[in-house]
Amino acid sequence: MYSEKESAEVTVNNFLTKIKHYYHPTEEAAILEAFSVAKNAHEGQFRASGRPYITHPTIVADILVDMGFDVPTICAALLHDTVEDTNVTDADLRTKFGDEIADLVAGVTKLDKIQFHNKEEEQTENMRKMFFAMAKDIRVMMIKLADRLHNMRSLMYLSEEKQQVIAKETLDIFAPIAGRLGISSVKSELEDLCLKYLDRKAYDEIAQGIAMKKAERETIVENFIFQLKDKLKESNLANFDVYWRTKHFYSIYKKMKKQNKTLEQVYDLTAVRVIVETIKDCYAVLGSIHDKWKPMPGRFKDYIAVPKRNMYQSLHTTVFLDYQSHRYPIEVQIRTYEMHKIAEYGVAAHWKYKEGVTTKTEMDETLGWVKEVLSYDKDFRDSKEFLNLIRKDISNTNEVYVFTPNGDVKILAAGSNALDFAYAVHSEVGNKCVGTKVNNKIVPLDTVLSTGDTVEVMTNPNAKGPSRDWLKIVTTPSAKAKIRQFFKRELKDEYIRTGKSMVERDAKHRGISPSELVTPEAVAAVCERYMLANADEMYAAVGYGSLSLTQVMLKLITANKHVSDAIKAQQVVRSRKPVNSKEKSVIIKGVEGLLVRFSRCCSPVPGDEIVGYISRGRGVCVHRADCPAVKNMEKERLIKAEWANTSEQTTFSASIEIISEDKGDIFAEITRAIANEGLPMTAINARKDKKGNAVANVTVEISNHDQANQLITKLKSIPAVINAYRVNG
Ligand code: MN
588-605 mean pLDDT: 69
Q: How far is the CA of 146 from the centre of ligand 1 (A)?
A: 9
Ion ligand 1 neighbours (CB, 5 A) are 81, 147
Q: What is the dihedral of CA 370, 371, 377, 378, to 10 degrees?
A: 170
Q: How far is the CA of 80 from the centre of ligand 1 (A)?
A: 6
Partner residues linked to 10 by β-bridges: none
Poorest-pLDDT segment among 403-407, 421-425, 587-591:
587-591
The number of CA neighbours under 13 Å toward the Cβ of 715 is 30
Q: How far is the CA of 34 from the centre of ligand 1 (A)?
A: 15
Q: How far is the CA of 79 from the centre of ligand 1 (A)?
A: 9
Q: How far is the CA of 403 from the centre of ligand 1 (A)?
A: 45
pLDDT at 180: 82
pLDDT at 92: 94
Q: How far is the CA of 486 from the centre of ligand 1 (A)?
A: 43
Strands 596-598 and 620-624: parallel
Q: How far is the CA of 41 from the centre of ligand 1 (A)?
A: 14
Q: What 3-state class would DSSP assign to 558?
A: helix
Tell me which of 6, 84, 99, 322 is the catalytic residue. Answer: 84
pLDDT-derived band of residue 625, with 50, 70 and 90 as boundaries? Answer: confident
Report how far residue 645's alpha carbon sits from residue 628's, in angstroms, rounded to the nearest whole number: 27
Report how far residue 113's alpha carbon sits from residue 541's, in angstroms, rounded to the nearest whole number: 38
Q: How far is the CA of 108 from the centre of ligand 1 (A)?
A: 9
Report how far residue 276's alpha carbon sits from residue 254's, in angstroms, rounded to the nearest whole number: 30
**pLDDT at residue 187 greater than cutoff 80:** yes
pLDDT-derived band of residue 332, with 50, 70 and 90 as boundaries? Answer: very high
**Pick from 385, 414, 389: nearest CA to 402:** 414
DSSP assigned state of 247: P
Whether the Cβ atoms of residue 447 and residue 418 lie closer than 8 Å to each other: yes
**pLDDT at residue 566 greater than cutoff 70:** no
Question: At a CB cut-off of 8 Å and minimum separation 6, what does 506 contact?
Answer: 549, 553
pLDDT digits (tens, 9 = 90+) for 707-716: 888 899 999 8
Alpha-carbon distances, residue 325 vs 267, 268, 321, 616, 656 (angstroms):
17, 19, 10, 96, 110
Q: How far is the CA of 155 from the centre of ligand 1 (A)?
A: 13
178 Rama sector, left if φ>0, alpha if ψ -120 to 50, beta otherwise = alpha
pLDDT digits (tens, 9 = 90+) for 100-146: 999 999 999 888 777 665 566 566 667 777 777 777 788 899 999 99
Tell me which of 85, 268, 385, 609 is the catalytic residue. Answer: 85
685-708 mean pLDDT: 82
pLDDT-derived band of residue 3, with 50, 70 and 90 as boundaries? Answer: low
pLDDT at 572: 46
pLDDT at 389: 61
pLDDT at 575: 40
Q: How far is the CA of 145 from the centre of ligand 1 (A)?
A: 10
Neighbours of 453 (CB within 10 A): 18
Q: What is the DSSP string of 450-465?
A: -TT-BEEEEE-TT---
pLDDT-derived band of residue 690, with 50, 70 and 90 as boundaries? Answer: confident
- Reading across the β-sheet that carries 652-660, which strands appear in turn? 681-688, 694-702, 652-660, 721-726
Q: How far is the CA of 429 from the centre of ligand 1 (A)?
A: 47
Q: What is the DSSP string of 256-317?
A: HHHHT--GGG---SEEEEEEESSHHHHHHHHHHHHHHSEEPTT--EETTTS--TT----EEE
**Pick from 381, 391, 457: nearest CA to 424:** 457
Whether the Cβ atoms of residue 445 and residue 433 lie closer than 8 Å to each other: yes
pLDDT-derived band of residue 719, with 50, 70 and 90 as boundaries? Answer: confident
pLDDT at 360: 42
Q: How far is the CA of 148 from the centre of ligand 1 (A)?
A: 7
pLDDT-derived band of residue 579, with 50, 70 and 90 as boundaries? Answer: very low
Report how far residue 207's alpha carbon sits from residue 262's, in angstroms, rounded to the nearest whole number: 13
Handedness of CA 459, 465, 468, 474 (dihedral sign): positive
Look up 85 and say whether it is catalytic.
yes
Q: How far is the CA of 57 from the centre of ligand 1 (A)?
A: 6
| Alpha helices (H) in 396-476, listed in sequence order | 418-425, 427-431, 470-473
Q: How far is the CA of 343 from the centre of ligand 1 (A)?
A: 26
Whether the Cβ atoms of residue 131 and residue 386 lie closer than 8 Å to each other: no
Question: At a CB cut-off of 8 Å and minimum separation 6, what does 356 contact?
Answer: none
Report how far residue 517's alpha carbon sits from residue 523's, in angstroms, rounded to the nearest whole number: 9
Report how far residue 445's alpha carbon sits from residue 434's, in angstroms, rounded to the nearest whole number: 9
Poorest-pLDDT segment among 18-32, 220-234, 267-281, 522-536:
522-536
pLDDT at 375: 63
pLDDT at 226: 92
Q: How far is the CA of 247 from the centre of ligand 1 (A)?
A: 29
**Pick from 654, 656, 650, 655: nearest CA to 703:** 650
Q: How far is the CA of 381 from the centre of ligand 1 (A)?
A: 30
pLDDT-derived band of residue 160, with 50, 70 and 90 as boundaries? Answer: very high
pLDDT digits (tens, 9 = 90+) for 456-472: 998 888 877 888 788 88
Q: How far is the CA of 153 from the centre of ligand 1 (A)?
A: 12
- The phi, psi pair for 421, rounded to 5°, reads -60, -45
pLDDT-derived band of residue 76, with 50, 70 and 90 as boundaries? Answer: very high
Mean pLDDT of the chain: 82
Helices H / strands E in the chain, number of each: 31, 20
Report how far residue 474's alpha carbon sits from residue 497's, in angstroms, rounded to the nearest whole number: 30
Q: How far is the CA of 77 from the centre of ligand 1 (A)?
A: 8
**Pick from 469, 128, 153, 178: nearest CA to 312:** 178
Q: How far is the CA of 356 from the centre of ligand 1 (A)?
A: 31
